Amino acid sequence: MSAAHSVYVPEGTFGVLDAGEIPVQTADWSNGLAVPMSHGALIVTGIHTGEIRATATPMTGPPPGLADDLWEEIVEVSVHAPTGGLRVESLEQGPVDGLAPLSPAGPGWYRLRVHARGRGRGTLPDKTSPEPVEDYLVMAWPAPWADADILRTSGRLEHDLAHSAGAPQPQPPAPSRSKEQEALRRRLLRG
């Protein structure tokens, strides 16, 4: 397993993206943590803006059992990688150097398991954090498409799920018009 690396989070999400594309209009926001799209996925964080720690682990098949009890939330979703370039990415800064690509088998379908802890702690009232307080382990292996599976929940994830039942799907926040945000908006519209 690779070491954790810092990932800058704008707008409460980071990505596991295929060739940097963000087809946000196809996002399924229903499970509160891992948001699959027509290709790639977004990961919902507890902070709105700041740094998180992430580890990426490509696998040849599903891991045996669940990770240790240090993880508060674990969700699996299927993601498509048409170019075979799945990588953990900051939505503003691009791929995270030092984290392994998550699609070693090339183009196709992958099962993405996202482990999270700290999504509900340590943030300032404006949902920012001066230091990383959230950790994510992202694993992926080749597998045909399957429904999302919530393997472990926390109070935060249960709250998110209860409040989304029967409600319209949450939409991503409108980007501001700073130079960085304008670049993000253009990337989102490209997808």
Q: Spell out the domains of the chain, with CATH numbers in brackets.
A: 5-169 (2.60.34.30)
3-55 per-position pLDDT tens digit: 899 999 999 999 999 998 899 999 999 999 999 999 999 999 999 999 999 99
pLDDT at 187 over 70: no
Mean pLDDT score, 151-174: 53
pLDDT at 73 over 60: yes
The overall average pLDDT reported for the chain is 83
Structure-token pair, residue 29: 């926001």
Decide if 190 contacts 25 (C-beta within 8 A).
no
Residue closest to 73 by CA, chosen among 126, 138, 129: 138
Higher pLDDT, 104 or 158: 104
Nearest-angstrom CA–CA distance, 137 and 153? 15
pTM confidence score = 0.80
pLDDT for residue 4: 93
Nearest-angstrom CA–CA distance, 112 and 133? 22
pLDDT for residue 128: 75
Mean pLDDT is lowest, of 19-23, 51-55, 137-141, 172-176, for 172-176
